[in-house]
Amino acid sequence: MEDAVHIAVVASTTAISATRLYGIIGSPLGHSLSPCLHNWAFAAAGIPAVYLPWPLQAGKVGDFLTAMRTLPIAGASVTIPHKETVLALLDGQTEAARAVGAVNTLYWENGQLLGDNTDVAGFLAPLEGHSYDSALVLGAGGAARAVLAGLKDLGVAEVFLANRSADRAAALAAEFGAIIVDWDERGDCAPDLLVNTTPLGMAGAQAAASPWPEERFRPGQTAYDLVYNPLETRFLAAAAAAGCRVVDGLAMFLGQALGQFRRWTGCDFALDRAREKLLETLGR
C-alpha cells in the first residue's frame, strides 16, 4: 500500500490549494512530459487545477483506484504498465477503450469512475491525408494496441506485428487480425509505414538502442516513433538519413493529451503553442 498511501498524502495536501487534482500513474515516469503539458494547459485556460506524477509499480493499480475513489482526484492519465490491467477495475469504459482493450484516461461521470482511450486519435492525427498499403508495428504492449486499432480505422490492407515475446505477439495479432513477423526476421519486412511502440530509444538506459536494423530503411517509407524523449531517437535519425518521412512521438503525445484535456475540462489548448512549450522543456 506504500504507493497508495503516498498518493493519498500528496492528494490531500495538494487539494487544499487546488480546486481540481489530476495526475499520471505508471512506471517509470521520469521521462514523462504530461505534468509539464497539462499544468501549462490548465494555466492557459484559467482552470484552477494541478497535475502531478504518481509513480506506481505493477500490481498496485487497485490501490490507486481505492485512493482515487476516496480522495478528490478529478482524473488521471494511465501509462505503462497499467493501461490494460486497469480496464477490469473500473465502473465502465468508453467504446474507444473497449475497442483498444486499454485505458489511458480516467475520469468521473455521474459518480462513476470510467476509462477512455485517446491514444488512437492521437496516433492518427499526424497521419491525416496519408494512406498506406502496409504497416509494421514493433512491440506488443498497450501502445501497440492503440496503433493496431488506428491502422484498422485507417484502412491499411496489410498490418504486420513483431515483438520479442512471440506469445504476446501471437495473442495481439489474433485479436486485431495482424500478420506475425518473427522479431529476428523483422528487417526482411518492407512496409510503407513502420511504427515503433517499444521503449527502445527512450532517454535513459535505452537511449542508444533502436528497434529496427538501420540498413533496412528504404526511401519513401514513413517511420513513426512513439518515443518522444528524446525527440529525435536513433530510429528516427537513421530513417531520416535514409530518405524516409519521419513522425516524432511528440505528435501522438500532443494528440492524445488534447483528447484527455477535452475529456476532463471540455476545453481545448493550442497544439502549436503546446508543442513550443514541450520543445523548450526538452531543450533543457
Residues ≥6 apart with Cβ < 8 Å to 35: 23, 24, 51, 52, 53
Torsion of CA 14, 60, 281, 15, to 10 degrees: -10
Q: 123: burial class by Cβ within 10 Å (0-12, 13-18, 19+)? A: buried
Q: Which three cell numbers stand for residue 193?
A: 509505414
Q: Report yes or no: 236 and 246 within 8 Å, Cβ to Cβ.
A: yes
Q: Which of 60, 83, 152, 277 is catalytic?
A: 83
Q: How far apart are CA 99 and CA 46, in angstroms?
A: 34
Q: How far apart are CA 95 and CA 76, in angstroms?
A: 18
Residue 138 sits at φ, ψ, to 5 deg, of: -100, 115
Q: Is 152 a catalytic residue?
A: no
Active site residues: 83
